[in-house]
Amino acid sequence: MIAAAAISGAIIYHNLGTAASSAGIDSPPGGGQIGVPSYSTSSNYTAAVAGQLAVTVTNAALPAGGFNANSTTTTFTCASSPSGAHLTLTNGGTGSASVSYISITSAGVVSEFTPSGACDIGGLGSGAATTYVIFPANSQVVPSPVSAQNYTGDVGLSDGVSIQFAGAWQ
């Protein structure tokens, strides 16, 4: 069985070992290449691959004014189209998963968010292969973010894989 984890901005594939093979570094499923994620000026993206699941944070639209320390809102919803403060999740694999949490670290403090309702990411070719994580207005991030301040984050999937992302508050 081959599993993957995002470690220090690279995709690391690890052979968990079977009766036919010993543990060690292996190539990804399907003979693909191990790569380093691309970076943009607004956000850095890391893909997580587990079996036939290949989810990537392809966009982050996080305005500083949409988050504040005085709020008590720590949930998010998922939709098939973007609105307001959101993350875009895209699955290039045939498997599916659910988002179980999102964490955002800003000014050294971690803010945790959980889904309010189902947040499923479908397989490639399905209507849900691209899913938008929507943060309600005035979601809680402590301390209140400032435009151009850097943040990092993690999207946790139901299979235990964590997808890292980073950027600057808009």
DSSP string covering 72-107, please?
-B-EEEEESS--SEEEEEEE-SS--EEEEEEEEEET
Q: Which of 6-10, 59-63, 108-112, 124-128 has the lowest mean pLDDT?
A: 6-10
Contact 113, 74 (CB under 8 A): yes
Q: Phi/psi zone of residue 134: left (φ > 0), alpha (ψ -120 to 50 degrees), beta?
A: beta
In the predicted model, is pLDDT for residue 147 greater than 50? yes
Look at residue 52 in the predicted model and tell me its pLDDT. Answer: 84
pLDDT tens readout for residues 52-96: 889 999 999 999 999 999 999 999 999 999 999 999 999 999 899
pLDDT bin (cut points 50, 70, 90) of residue 36 is very low
Distance from C-alpha of 50 to C-alpha of 5, rounded to nearest angstrom: 8
Phi, psi (deg, nearest 5) at residue 30: 75, 10
Query: Per DSSP, which regions of the chain are E strands?
Result: 2-7, 10-15, 24-25, 43-45, 47-50, 53-61, 67-68, 75-79, 85-91, 97-106, 109-115, 120-121, 130-135, 139-140, 150-157, 162-168
pLDDT over threshold 70, residue 154:
yes
- Range with the poorest average pLDDT among 7-11, 52-56, 59-63, 124-128: 7-11
The residues spanned by each domain of the chain are 44-168
